Amino acid sequence: MRGSVQHTSVLALASMQSEHSIGVSQMHSNQPEVVWGARAIAQVIGKGEKATFAMLERGQLAGAQKVAGRWAFKPRIFFSMFETAA
């Protein structure tokens, strides 16, 4: 199943923003309000599951927190870090 999922890195998303003059929030407007679990978060941010879990445990992902022992992630908060001031 991993081969069927296309991963896009956060850096690639940021470069796409500047190349195509569209905001990151527009590219991810169809994202759910909250994403649950490290595996699903990894798919949203385009990283491997182990790397994502390590970043979560170190507190390196804005918009992520543990709720009742499970990771919850708000993509809107994370991707808003890549928007440029108008």
Residue 36's H or E segment, with its range, is: strand 35-36
Q: Are the beta carbons of 72 and 64 closer than 8 angstroms?
A: yes
Regarding pTM above 0.75, the answer is: no
- DSSP bridge pairs for 35: 73
**pLDDT tens sequence across 39-86:** 999 999 999 999 999 999 999 999 999 999 999 999 999 988 888 655
pLDDT in tens, 8-43: 444 444 444 433 333 444 445 566 799 999 999 999
Domain residue limits, the chain:
2-80
